[in-house]
Amino acid sequence: MESNICYYLINNNLTWLAAESDCIQKGGHLASIDGVFVNSYLRGIAEADGLITYWIGGTNLVIPDSWSWIDGNRWKYTAWAPVSIHSYPENSIVAGLGDEYLPSREFWIGLSCTNTDCEWSDSSKYGYTQWYSQAVQQGSTCATILGWNFATARQDWNTHDCSELLPFVCQISSLK
């Protein structure tokens, strides 16, 4: 996890695009997750607030059929559920933020996808993933983080129609 990134869980139900716009107005993007640490951190914060689903910056809207982080980070870590996240720890951080501060079980992350690829809202590279096993569905092009999955002991990602209203998490550089 980068020390110059701050995460803000927003308990305001918006569409994925409106959530990304709100994050941009705050000087950031929907969160991209590059590993397990951020994934766990954000999940822990979300769960503490009773959130199950919230938006992150994963999307397949930018490049059809290709998942990426809207912030441009590389899509290298995934946590698709059996919500730019670049590793398991970062995925946990994003998921934890929702638990801590939001009442929903899922919230938007800055990820949108097409059938074959994804992109983070801040244009960061799409690399880490943690998708729920049946997550990537036809017509579902934006990513959320799910609540803790006791069966897998993971904080997994899921896809939803981008027009659904969900809470979300922004990431903003602390250097701005």
Place of tokens 């441009």: 72
Distance in angstroms (rounded) separating the CA atoms of residues 78 and 6? 21
Distance in angstroms (rounded) separating the CA atoms of residues 73 and 30? 12
pLDDT at 26 over 70: yes
CATH of domain 5-173: 3.10.100.10
pTM of the model: 0.58
Mean pLDDT of the 85-97 span: 65
Beta strands at 166-173 and 29-30: parallel, antiparallel or unpaired: antiparallel
What pLDDT, in 10s, does the model give residues 113-160? 666 667 776 666 666 666 665 555 555 578 877 665 444 555 677 777
Beta strands at 106-112 and 53-63: parallel, antiparallel or unpaired: parallel
Sorted by where each begins, the domain ranges of the chain are: 5-173
What pLDDT, in 10s, does the model give residues 38-86? 888 888 887 777 777 888 998 887 777 678 888 888 777 776 654 356 6
